[in-house]
Amino acid sequence: MKVLIVVTDSLGVGEMPDAAVYGDAGADTFGHIWEANGGIHIPNMLELGWGNIDGVLGGALSVEEPLGSFGKMAEASKGKDTTTGHWEIAGLKTDVPFKTYPEGFPREFMDKYEEAIGIECLGNYPASGTQIIEDLGEEHERTGKPIVYTSADSVFQIAVNVDKFGLDTLYHYCEVAREMLVGEFACGRVIARPYIINADGKRERTSDRHDYSVTPFGPTILDKIKEAGKTVYAVGKISDIFNGAGVTESVHNTDDMNGVDNTLDALDKDFEGFIFTNLVDFDAKYGHRRDPVGYGENIERFDKRLPEIMAKMADDDVLFICADHGNDPTAPGTDHTREYVPLIAYGKNIKAGVDLGIRESFADLGATVCDLLNVEGTGFGKSFKEEILK
């Protein structure tokens, strides 16, 4: 038996009650993408019950007999970032949000960091990753000084032209930062942002992004499943998000469709356990860049691939589709949005048409994964296995 979670990164389904506290009142990633495009073609997602989720476009997309069970989940953790979202899915609640740096990183830290890597840095302020390499790329390429920037999330991002200075150089800068960004200067993730100048003379980020996360503060469902002797197969940036903890096998994605390919390959492998897939383009390429049209097209591409995933599943396999936060591409700024996330469950042994309602935590999903695999969970989250299993 394999249990599969596909995280459509940032595909939220409407503001949470506390969204205004996060500056996100009115956010609705999916709903606003639908409206901005005059609708999108996603017959497979709708057939599974996506449009039946409470609050999704007022029920206008619901179907009479969905193939899957459906609902939505609230985030119990404090925050709206990748790490807290994925950790909560995996059974950990983050009560103290990761420290953010809206004014850039303190000079005291930057002085120590620049001394450690032997070169000054450019930037050090919140910015769009595609914009800052245009603003500072020429100076970086002339001087070799790496570009440092952050966002509303707890991230220390480093951009380097890897054709000129090498990917190893960028990864070294990130490894040094990861070791230093603890304690007083704690930071959730260090992200390597490699770029090149393409044939058209434009600066273009590459797929060699690498996330250096902190290790989870406690055991997750990944650890529990691994300790039970089962496989934990991480697709995309999952291994990075958990700093490798609890992962038995992992594979890197070049883009979301490659992520679907890698997921299909995992379903073909002979093991019992958990496949955890993150499709990051929804977030990185379209949400943060405030591109509702591109986001809609990516949803359509994913929808077209769903039948392949469903066809690969064995009789006792279970598929869950969810997200880790919102990132409304019609909202001001470039940051994540505090939203409910979708929950779809499908499998030959899964009941069709069960409304799972509004779950109190993303951790309900992780608890259900463990329950299906007959593995002890983390103690956080309420399994809904009995509601969906035939």
The CATH number of the domain where 190 resides is what? 3.30.70.1250
Whether 226 is covered by a domain: the verdict is: yes
Q: Which of 195, 213, 231 is the last residue of a domain?
A: 213
Whether 101 is covered by a domain: the verdict is: no
Q: Which of 159, 181, 213 is the last residue of a domain?
A: 213
pLDDT, tens digit (0-9, with 9 covering 90-100), for 33-78 = 999 999 999 999 999 999 999 999 999 999 999 999 999 999 999 9
Beta carbons within 8 Å of 251's beta carbon, 6+ residues apart = 233, 234, 235, 236, 262, 265, 266
Give 154: exposed, middle or buried? Use CB within 10 Å, 0-12, 13-18, 19+. buried
Whether 200 is covered by a domain: the verdict is: yes
Whether 102 is covered by a domain: the verdict is: no
For residue 153, is pLDDT > 90?
no
Q: Which of 166, 184, 213 is the last residue of a domain?
A: 213
pLDDT, tens digit (0-9, with 9 covering 90-100), for 79-120 = 999 999 999 999 999 998 889 999 999 999 999 999 999 999
- Residue 182 and residue 52 share a domain: no
- Residue 373 and residue 235 share a domain: yes
For residue 30, is pLDDT > 90?
yes
What letter does residue 81 receive in the DSSP assignment? S
For residue 309, is pLDDT > 90?
yes
- Residue 380 and residue 259 share a domain: yes
Give the count of beta carbons closer than 10 Å to the beta carbon of residue 315. 8
Closest to 214 (Cα-Cα) out of 187, 194, 195: 187
- Residue 222 and residue 76 share a domain: yes
Beta carbons within 8 Å of 319's beta carbon, 6+ residues apart = 4, 6, 309, 310, 313, 344, 345, 346, 347
Please report how the helices 167-180 and 107-117 are oriented relative to each other, as an axis angle in degrees rounded to 10: 130
Give the count of beta carbons closer than 10 Å to the beta carbon of residue 137. 17
- Residue 254 and residue 139 share a domain: no
Please report how the helices 292-312 and 29-37 are oriented relative to each other, as an axis angle in degrees rounded to 10: 110
Angle (CA) 213 215 4, round 5°: 85
Residue 166, domain extent: 107-213
DSSP-derived 3-state class of residue 57 = helix
Tell me the C-alpha distance between 316 and 349, whole Å: 6
Count of the separate structural domains present in the chain: 2
CATH number of the CATH domain containing 86: 3.40.720.10
- Residue 364 and residue 229 share a domain: yes
- Residue 274 and residue 308 share a domain: yes
Whether 305 is covered by a domain: the verdict is: yes
